[in-house]
């Protein structure tokens, strides 16, 4: 055996050990795009919320002094608009989520083909299972709290549970995913200390952090 | 110390067997079909190499059923893992030796 042959053999072994135990078909590009979607979504949400605030302000200024607030037509119109706003924000979040998942799926499929790894196999299944457990738990918890009126919990809770799901998914893919998860958890805890800035933290965690992580992945593994 | 090629484990002379051991060293268990897909070889070829490793007591077999389909899982034994590690060490030392020559 020549030295080069042994070298090739060792490289092949290392590659096989990685390919058999880790899902290496994640694409950095999908991280970048998910971040961009999140930032656009947060921008639209911010616009809607500030529009709503200026709208209510002008309405409240028209309130007749000493009028019973809860029965005034102004209050009722604001109230129905508020439910409308929540609905719109929910739809924006849903669109961002669906776009991100679809992008990740399409780009991973392309990457899997290039790297000779099965998209739907033993490893991707464990990856999805370990990611879905904290993610679905967190998602349901947020929905339960929202239905009870605790809107302040959305940003910290979704960041923390998303971070937990990334840390556990990190065992089945690039280590970098784990670090992204730790940062998301940290950000979620900080967001919990600063109520009222939820959208800002949300945009930073799902937007900026994704773009940073995606670019690092892209430069390191995609090419 | 002079290291010769004789020190290399005969069981790992076949490339497929070495590949199987690499996968089993990195994972607790691996099933037949996933292994076949990963290594991209035929049923018969994979089965014969697995049998050879089993005979050396480098791997153990776990048979079970997933619904009605038989599901065979393989696991590396301590003996197998040690042999694999030593084989890699020998390969590394061979490289070093050839560099100093």
Evaluate whether residue A49 is within a structural domain: yes
> CA–CA separation, A140 vs A153, rounded Å?
12
To test the contact with chain B by mutation, choose from A10, A15, A17 the residue with the greatest count of B C-beta atoms within 10 A, namely A17
Model pLDDT, residue A204: 97
More confident residue, A151 or A133: A133
> CA–CA separation, B12 vs B17, rounded Å?
6
Q: What is chain B's mean pLDDT, rounded?
A: 88
Model pLDDT, residue A129: 95
Evaluate whether residue A3 is within a structural domain: no
More confident residue, A15 or A59: A15
Across residues A173-192, what is the average pLDDT?
A: 96
Q: Where are the beta strands (DSSP E) in chain B?
A: 30-31, 59-66, 69-76
Judged by CB atoms closer than 8 Å, whether chains meet at B26 and A18 is answered as: yes
Question: pLDDT band at residue B98, thresholds of 50, 70 and 90?
Answer: confident
Cβ(A27)–Cβ(A110) below 8 Å: yes
Domains and CATH numbers, chain B: 11-100 (1.10.10.10)
Count of alpha carbons within 13 angstroms of residue B88, beta-carbon side: 15
pTM beyond 0.95, yes or no: no
Judged by CB atoms closer than 8 Å, whether chains meet at B37 and A3 is answered as: no
Evaluate whether residue A16 is within a structural domain: no
Q: Is some CB atom of chain A closer than 8 A to the CB atom of B95?
A: yes
Across residues A69-73, what is the average pLDDT?
A: 67
Q: Which residue of A has its CA nearest to B92?
A: A6
CA distance A13 to chain B (A): 6
Q: Which of A106-115, A185-194, B91-100 has the lowest mean pLDDT?
A: B91-100
For residue A150, the enclosing domain spans 27-222
Evaluate whether residue A167 is within a structural domain: yes
Whole-angstrom CA distances from A220 to A17, A27, A213, B17 are 19, 10, 11, 31
To test the contact with chain A by mutation, choose from B7, B19, B46 the residue with the greatest count of A C-beta atoms within 10 A, namely B19
Give tens-digit pLDDT for B35-79: 998 888 999 999 999 999 999 999 999 999 888 888 999 999 999
Q: Which residue of B has its CA nearest to A171?
A: B27
Q: What is chain A's mean pLDDT, rounded?
A: 89
């Amino acid at each position: 055996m020549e030295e080069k042959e042994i070298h090739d053999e060792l490289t092949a072994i290392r590659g096989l050990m990685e390919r058999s135990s880790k899902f290496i078909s994640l694409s950095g590009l999908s991280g970048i795009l998910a971040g961009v979607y999140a930032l656009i979504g947060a921008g639209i949400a911010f616009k809607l919320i500030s529009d709503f605030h200026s709208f209510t302000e002008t309405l409240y200024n028209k309130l007749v002094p000493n009028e019973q607030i809860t029965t005034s037509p102004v209050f009722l119109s604001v109230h129905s608009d508020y439910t409308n706003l929540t609905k719109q924000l929910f739809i924006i979040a849903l669109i961002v989520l669906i776009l991100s998942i679809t992008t990740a799926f399409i780009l991973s499929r392309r990457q899997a083909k290039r790297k000779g790894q099965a998209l739907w196999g033993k490893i991707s299944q464990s990856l999805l299972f370990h990611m879905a457990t904290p993610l679905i738990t967190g998602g349901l918890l947020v929905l339960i709290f929202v239905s009870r009126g605790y809107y302040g919990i959305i940003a910290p809770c979704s960041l923390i549970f998303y971070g937990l799901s990334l840390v556990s998914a990190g065992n089945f893919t690039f280590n970098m995913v784990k670090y992204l998860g730790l940062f998301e958890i940290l950000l979620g805890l900080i967001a919990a200390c600063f109520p009222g800035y939820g959208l800002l933290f949300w945009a930073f965690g799902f937007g900026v952090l994704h773009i940073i992580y995606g670019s690092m992945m892209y430069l390191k593994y995609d090419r | 110390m002079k290291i010769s090629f004789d020190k290399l484990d005969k069981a790992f002379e076949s490339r497929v067997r070495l590949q199987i051991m690499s996968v089993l060293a990195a994972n607790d268990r691996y099933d037949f079909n996933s292994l076949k897909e990963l290594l991209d070889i035929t049923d018969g070829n994979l089965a014969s190499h697995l049998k050879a490793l089993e005979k050396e007591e480098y791997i153990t077999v776990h048979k079970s059923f997933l619904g009605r389909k038989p599901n065979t899982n393989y696991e590396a034994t301590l003996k197998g893992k040690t042999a694999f590690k030593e084989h890699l060490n020998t390969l590394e030392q061979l490289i070093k030796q050839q560099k100093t020559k």
